[in-house]
Amino acid sequence: MSTQNRQIVLQSRPVGEPTAENYRLQEVSIPTPQQGEMLLRTVYLSLDPYMRGRMSDAESYAEPVSIDEVMIGGTVAQVVESKLDGYNEGDWVLSINGWQDYAISKGEMAINLGKNPAFPSWALGVLGMPGFTAYMGLLDIGQPQAGETVVVAAASGAVGANVGQIAKIKGARVIGIAGGEEKCRYVVEELGFDACIDHKADDFAAQLAKVCNNGIDVYFENVGGKVFDAVLPLLNTKARIPVCGLISQYNATELPDGPDRMALLMGKVLSKRMTMKGFIIYDDYGHRYEEFAKDMHQWVNEGRIKYKEHLIEGLENAPEGLNDVLNGRNFGKMVVKVNEPL
């Protein structure tokens, strides 16, 4: 074990896609826990699209990461030393250590995973925030009914893959949208979607319209941009649109070129009486976590939900890994292995 705590801090705010100059890797002393605290050593770090928004100081649903502050991030860590009831040395903990080796925790926003979880990093994916996001966004806002058509953007990603599989469990017809033949093949052959359309195809919109010949009842929005443009004319009366993310716009520095389409969108919302609702998972649904955990653990154990992880090694590779997520270069849930387990 190191005697120093490596940290990646936000050195400057990015304009467009983040670069190496926006970060600084520094070493500080490992902190010492006081009474009512524990020292956690990060083993796995989650990389998620929301992190790009937290690098900006534009008004948002959460405070931005401050300059010279450790980058935010969900982690699975182990207890090195505990002076906190309910946590013992060696316990695995789901926490928010951020981009660093060690962190002090008072147990707030932390979940004890026990001594020997089967797949510790899964608490950052299918059994954690992305799975929870998929579950509540789809079932509470989307409310898919048996026989309806559900379309999922970023279908091979950490959230989208779970959305589609849950929709299938509920009896819906599920169409995925993903980038590239390999991802589309995985979504259909491994995850059991009914079809998947490659958004990189020149005739993407035409392909989507053909496969959605009865329209779209639920569209789970992760992407925005040209994907939403293709979906909009296909939405049925009383369609439901959970808005989880708009990853195509996170690095944008200005509005896209072209005509103002707001009137078109609002006209469709009105005439087709559609529901479009954004949500922030822990703010809106934190009180329902146990409901999700019960169902998702059961589905995973029964093999009804499958999960793919994109694992990279080394804290120093987190910045590049985040850009891979923002540009769709990952295949599955992006996780950084920061340290070996104790």
pLDDT beyond 80 at 258: no
**What confidence score (pLDDT) does residue 253 get?**
66
Which pLDDT band holds residue 1 (cuts at 50, 70, 90)? Answer: low
**What confidence score (pLDDT) does residue 262 get?**
85
**What confidence score (pLDDT) does residue 233 get?**
96
pLDDT 10s digits, 117-144: 999 999 999 999 999 999 999 999 999 9
Architecture of the domain made up of 129-282:
3-Layer(aba) Sandwich (3.40)
- Domain ranges for the chain, please list them: 4-124+307-337, 129-282
What does the pLDDT average to over 261-266?
Answer: 86
Which pLDDT band holds residue 227 (cuts at 50, 70, 90)? Answer: very high
pLDDT beyond 70 at 335: yes
Q: Decide: residue 262, CB within 10 A, 0-12 exposed, 13-18 middle, 19+ buried.
A: exposed
pLDDT 10s digits, 71-94: 999 999 999 999 999 999 999 999
* pTM score: 0.90
Cβ atoms within 10 Å, residue 189: 10
Q: How many whole angstroms separate alpha carbon 216 and alpha carbon 147?
A: 11
The answer to which of 22-26, 255-259, 283-287, 323-327 has the lowest mean pLDDT is 255-259
Measure the CA angle with vertex 133, ends 49 and 278; round to 5°: 80
pLDDT 10s digits, 147-199: 999 999 999 999 999 999 999 999 999 999 999 999 999 999 999 999 999 99
**What confidence score (pLDDT) does residue 251 get?**
74
**What confidence score (pLDDT) does residue 174 get?**
98
pLDDT beyond 70 at 279: yes
In the chain, the percentage of residues whose pLDDT exceeds 90 is: 89
Residues 6+ positions from 98 with CB-CB distance below 8 Å: 7, 70, 71, 72, 73, 75
In the chain, the percentage of residues whose pLDDT exceeds 70 is: 99
Q: How many whole angstroms separate alpha carbon 83 and alpha carbon 107?
A: 11
Q: How many whole angstroms separate alpha carbon 67 and alpha carbon 60?
A: 17
Name the CATH superfamily housing domain 4-124+307-337.
Answer: Medium-chain alcohol dehydrogenases, catalytic domain (3.90.180.10)
